[in-house]
Structure 1
Amino acid sequence: MTFKVYYQADKTKRPVRENTQSLYIEADSEAEALLMVEHNTDYNIEFVEQLDEKALAYEKQNPNFKLTTF
């Protein structure tokens, strides 16, 4: 399954919506996706969203779409 993870790059600052970034990751569950990002980055994770086929197809239209691997 593919997940979109919304995060802030700096845990020490308070979250600001305009600074939210995202990455895409393959995992078996939402919990696994969250753990993978937590263990491999210092990001302040805001939300993990599972993408269905239509949402994934839409996201892939973005030229900056890239699956993150750790």
Structure 2
Amino acid sequence: MIFKVYYQETNTETPVREKTQSLYIDANDEVEVRQSLKAKPFHIEHIEALSDKHLEYEQSQPDFRLWEK
């Protein structure tokens, strides 16, 4: 399943919506997503499982690429 992760690049600053980044990761569940990213200095705001239609839309965007674990 593909998940979209909304995050801030640093976990030491207060989250600001305009600075929110996103990445896409293939994992079995949300726990596996968090385990894959725990070594990164990210402040994870939200993890969203993508439906087939939502994934199709995201894949049509020029900045779509899967995160390499």
Bucket of the pairwise TM-score, normalised by the shorter protein: over 0.9
TM-score, normalised via structure 2 length: 0.95
In the alignment, which residue of structure 1 is the partner of 2:5?
A: 5
Long gaps (5+) in structure 2: none
Q: CA deviation at 1:13?
A: 0.5
Quick one: which amino acid aligns to residue 45 of structure 1?
I
In the alignment, which residue of structure 1 is the partner of 2:46?
A: 47
In the alignment, which residue of structure 2 is the partner of 1:17?
A: 17
Mapping of 1:28-67 within 5 angstroms? Answer: 28-39=28-39, 41-67=40-66
Quick one: which amino acid aligns to residue 12 of structure 1?
T
Long gaps (5+) in structure 1: none
Q: Percent identity?
A: 46
Stretches of 4+ moved more than 4 A in 1? Answer: none
